[in-house]
Amino acid sequence: TSALLELEGGRSIEASLVVGADGAQSWVRDAAGIDSHVRPYGQQGVVANFETERGHDAIARQWFRPDGVLALLPLPGNRVSMVWSTWNDAADRLLSMPGDDLEREVETASRHALGALRLITSPRGFPLRLLRVSALVRPRVALIGDAAHNVHPLAGQGVNLGFQDACELAGVLRGRGAQDDCGDYRLLRRYARARSEPVALMQAATDGLQRLFNNPSFGLKWLRNTGLRFTNGIVPLKSFLVEHALG
């Protein structure tokens, strides 16, 4: 009727439901016996925060480059969070740069869109990979966020998927009616059924985009550029895609 978590130091916690929101290397997922399949992309995401000379106007900016995808995401004030998805050797070069050199590199790569940049956090890298799990739930266990799925960050959808997981699980628990046991497997399967298809679709989409934008073929380069211009020029289509991405 409950799950028992044994902690370091001898303490234990008993609960009706354990929510695994502990990231890509999820201990909860492993302890629950949920298998995962991982396909590395051979890339890293290099992340750091910068202070900007110009205001970002709460706009997320992204550049698709031959060496990967650079994104500058707005933070409060004149600050942005950088996510540069690039091949391992290029990521190692960025991570080994002195701060001044990294500032100039990002300014150039972002076409000076926000003026001069000042590095305010140390850069770090994390491996990019596609992660699929065999199940989102087990009796008394539910996975959300990166514990449940990994996607390539080129579309900026990883955090949105996690928020949508949390909202869906909260809705299922809130609407359980006379069911007192929030860890009941039949109840948790409602969450799994609701999230399995959206997650699979987003993983397929981001994986396909990653393959498209990292293929050097001239024909594919023309196709993707033409497709982006076409999408950008049709306001209803662009609005639909933005609305879907925001959940």
Residues 117-145: tens digit of each pLDDT: 999 999 999 999 999 999 999 999 999 99
Average confidence (pLDDT) over 37-44: 95
Domains annotated for the chain, with CATH where assigned, are 18-35+134-214 (3.50.50.60), 41-127 (3.30.9.10)
Average confidence (pLDDT) over 77-90: 96
Percent of the chain with pLDDT over 90: 71
Listed in order, strand segments (DSSP E) in the chain are 3-6, 12-15, 18-20, 36-52, 61-65, 68-75, 79-87, 117-119, 124-133, 137-138, 141-143
User: pLDDT grade, residue 7 (50/70/90)?
Assistant: confident
Percent of the chain with pLDDT over 70: 86
Average confidence (pLDDT) over 233-245: 48
Is the per-residue pLDDT at 59 higher than 90? yes
Average confidence (pLDDT) over 61-84: 92
Q: What is the pLDDT of residue 234?
A: 47
User: pLDDT grade, residue 237 (50/70/90)?
Assistant: very low
Rounded distance between C-alpha atoms, residue 34 and residue 201, angstroms: 21
Question: Cβ contacts of residue 235 below 8 Å, gap of 6+?
Answer: none
Is the per-residue pLDDT at 232 higher than 70? no
Q: What is the pLDDT of residue 84?
A: 96
pTM for the complete prediction?
Answer: 0.81
Is the per-residue pLDDT at 102 higher than 50? yes
Q: What is the pLDDT of residue 180?
A: 82
Average confidence (pLDDT) over 215-221: 55
Average confidence (pLDDT) over 54-73: 91
Contact 157, 145 (CB under 8 A): no
CB neighbours (10 Å) of residue 124? 11
Q: What is the pLDDT of residues 162-194, one digit of tens each?
A: 999 999 999 999 998 877 899 999 999 999 999
Average confidence (pLDDT) over 99-110: 98
